């Protein structure tokens, strides 16, 4: 029988590979990128992500992560602030994902980079450059990319995610330090926070129609957003873009949580976004990815099949994913000012919502 194979080397796949290797299992991880790559992501590491990282032997602060302890919600000239009920951090995905892969290799996992899996068929994994592999067990960790033969049953949403790094003006950097900010605007919102080296990550989610109004061009959308949001304009005043063009992603199936079905293979475990997709606003997708990767691998090591794992994880994820969906829908709606008004009227609300949309407690 072949090794266990992890398909995809994001946080969920790397966490599964680390756990399997640490448990003495032979494991091969296939990742299609040949080297470090940034991803569309707000780069916010919640408490659950930080605790999973330390369980895997990694310390975000040593990787250069910026500490985050509070949140600011801004719409036009109105703003609300609240402390987060946990410690959090900002770290770029290229830095995080590479550190996790290096950790998996150090624990004994075999990594093959630059290898794309084409499909799963009758228990076999077909790849572009490594032939066909018959794994003992497979871990589906391909994030938003579905594999032929193992597609998720999802409804793609109409949101587009856009991410850009900036070198901000020192005054904006000082203002932002310690905060994650959400700036609301018509048909969307953007997260702002610092990552290692003091760069600013602007990660926006916009309805497709808003992008189409600007001819599908980031270079026209950004000035429109800055004109609408004085806060964004202040944050980006004299900021220098660090990428030639933004990274983009579309068709995000927010709210998806995998449901185990009759006939699912007992040795194919879904992890990360293949298991559940929490709206980005919650900033908990990485935590879920790490936790599900670790949990699936632990279940596999203990001889527990995928169906029981999928059922347990579905129960754990339904509530935080659903609640995050409600907040996300409000922040995208015509009533988005209610989110700011309620957060101002109830000073503890931001912290409470941050706590309720965590997956961690349920996954422990
Ligand atoms: C706009 C936006 C903002 C977000 N902001 C945050 C945030 O601030 N904090 C947070 O916690 N979460 C955030 N998330 C969610 C988070 O990015 C994801 O939940 C997380 O990346 C999921 O991890 P994963 O390992 O499942 O997938 P991924 O991180 O997507 O990794 C999948 C990996 O699989 C590889 N792969 C794909 N297909 C194949 C194939 N066929 N063969 C081989 N390899 C393959 C890819 O190259 C990739 O490396 C955000 C998401 C979006 C869209």
- The CA radius of gyration of the chain, in Å to the nearest whole number, is 20
Q: Pick the residue whose CA is nearest to atom 9 on ligand 1.
A: 283
Q: What is the DSSP string of 26-95?
A: -EEEEES-SS----SS--EE-HHHHHHHHHTT--TGGGTPEEEEEEEEEETTEEEEEEEEEEEEE--HHH
Any domain includes 181: no
CA of 144 to the centre of ligand 1 (A): 6
Q: What is the DSSP string of 265-294?
A: -TTEEE-GGGTB---GGG--HHHHHHHHHH
For residue 277, the ligand 1 atom closest to its alpha carbon is: 19
For residue 30, the ligand 1 atom closest to its alpha carbon is: 43
Going by C-beta distance under 8 Å and a sequence separation of 6 or more, which residues neighbour residue 119?
Answer: 126, 147, 148, 149, 150
Which residues are near ligand 1 (CB < 6 Å)? 7-13, 30-33, 39-44, 49, 116-117, 141-145, 147, 161, 203, 205, 249, 252, 272-273, 280, 283-287, 289
CA of 154 to the centre of ligand 1 (A): 16
For residue 161, the ligand 1 atom closest to its alpha carbon is: 1
| Test site for ligand 1: of 5, 6, 8, 204, most ligand atoms within 8 A of the Cβ | 8
Dmax (CA) for the chain in angstroms is: 62
Looking at residue 361, its pLDDT comes to 57
Please tell me whether residue 115 adopts helix, strand or coil conformation.
coil
Any domain includes 323: yes
Looking at residue 2, its pLDDT comes to 83
What residues make up the domain containing 281? 4-38+93-154+254-363
Distance, in Å, from the CA atom of 19 to the CA atom of 38, rounded to the nearest integer, reads 24
Looking at residue 134, its pLDDT comes to 95
**Model confidence, pTM:** 0.96
The DSSP letter of residue 257 is: B
Any domain includes 87: no
Any domain includes 221: no
The DSSP letter of residue 158 is: S
Is residue 42 within 8 Å of residue 182, measured between CB atoms?
A: no
| Test site for ligand 1: of 95, 144, 145, most ligand atoms within 8 A of the Cβ | 145
Per-residue pLDDT of the chain (364 residues; tens, 9 = 90+): 789 999 999 999 999 999 999 999 999 999 999 999 999 999 999 999 999 999 999 999 999 999 999 999 999 989 999 999 999 999 999 999 999 999 999 999 999 999 999 999 988 999 999 899 999 999 999 999 999 999 998 888 899 999 999 999 999 999 999 999 999 999 999 999 999 999 999 999 999 999 999 999 999 999 999 999 999 999 999 999 999 999 999 999 999 999 988 778 889 999 999 999 999 989 999 999 999 999 999 999 999 999 999 999 999 999 999 999 999 999 999 898 888 888 888 888 888 888 888 876 556 5
Number of domains forming the structure of the chain: 1
Any domain includes 60: no
| Test site for ligand 1: of 10, 99, 288, most ligand atoms within 8 A of the Cβ | 10
CA dist 340 → 84, 185, 330, 343 (Å): 16, 12, 10, 5
Is residue 34 within 8 Å of residue 116, measured between CB atoms?
A: no
Any domain includes 167: no
CA of 51 to the centre of ligand 1 (A): 19
Any domain includes 284: yes
Q: Pick the residue whose CA is nearest to atom 4 on ligand 1.
A: 41
CATH code: domain of residue 308:
3.50.50.60
Q: How far is CA 3 from the centre of its chain?
A: 27
For residue 274, the ligand 1 atom closest to its alpha carbon is: 26
| Test site for ligand 1: of 16, 29, 42, 132, most ligand atoms within 8 A of the Cβ | 42
CA of 155 to the centre of ligand 1 (A): 17
Please tell me whether residue 207 adopts helix, strand or coil conformation.
strand
Please tell me whether residue 164 adopts helix, strand or coil conformation.
strand
Any domain includes 292: yes
């Amino acid at each position: 029988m072949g090794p266990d194979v992890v398909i995809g080397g994001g946080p969920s796949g790397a966490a599964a590979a680390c756990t399997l290797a640490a448990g003495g299992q032979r494991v091969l991880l296939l990742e299609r990128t040949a080297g470090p790559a940034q991803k569309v992501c707000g780069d916010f590491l919640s408490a659950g992500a930080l605790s999973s990282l330390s369980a895997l032997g990694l310390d975000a602060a040593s990787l250069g992560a910026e500490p985050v302890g509070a949140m600011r919600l801004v719409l036009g000239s109105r703003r609300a602030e609240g402390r987060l009920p946990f410690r959090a951090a900002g770290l770029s995905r290229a830095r995080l994902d590479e550190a996790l892969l290096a950790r998996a290799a150090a624990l004994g996992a075999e990594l093959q980079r630059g290898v794309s899996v084409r499909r799963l068929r009758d228990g076999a994994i077909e790849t572009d450059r490594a032939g066909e592999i018959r794994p003992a067990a497979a871990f589906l960790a391909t994030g938003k990319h579905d594999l032929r033969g193992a597609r998720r049953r999802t409804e793609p949403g109409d949101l587009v995610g856009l991410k850009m790094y900036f070198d901000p003006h020192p005054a904006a950097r000082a203002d932002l330090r310690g905060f994650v900010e959400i700036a609301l605007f018509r048909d969307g919102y953007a997260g702002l926070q610092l990552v290692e080296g003091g760069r600013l990550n602007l990660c926006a989610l916009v309805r497709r129609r808003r992008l189409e109004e600007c001819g599908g061009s980031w270079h026209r959308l950004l000035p429109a957003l800055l004109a609408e949001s004085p806060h964004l304009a202040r944050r980006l005043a004299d900021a220098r873009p660090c990428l030639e063009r933004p990274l983009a992603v579309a068709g995000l199936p927010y709210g998806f949580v995998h449901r185990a079905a009759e006939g699912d293979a007992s040795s194919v475990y879904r992890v990360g976004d293949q298991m559940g997709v929490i709206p980005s606003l919650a900033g908990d997708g990485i935590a879920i990815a790490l936790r599900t990767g670790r949990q699936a691998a632990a279940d596999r090591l203990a001889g527990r099949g995928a169906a029981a794992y999928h059922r347990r994880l579905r129960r754990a994820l339904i509530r935080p994913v659903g609640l995050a969906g409600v907040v996300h829908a409000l922040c995208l709606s015509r009533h988005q000012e209610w989110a700011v008004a309620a957060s101002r009227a109830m000073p503890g609300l931001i912290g409470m919502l941050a706590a309720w949309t965590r997956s961690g407690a349920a996954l422990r």
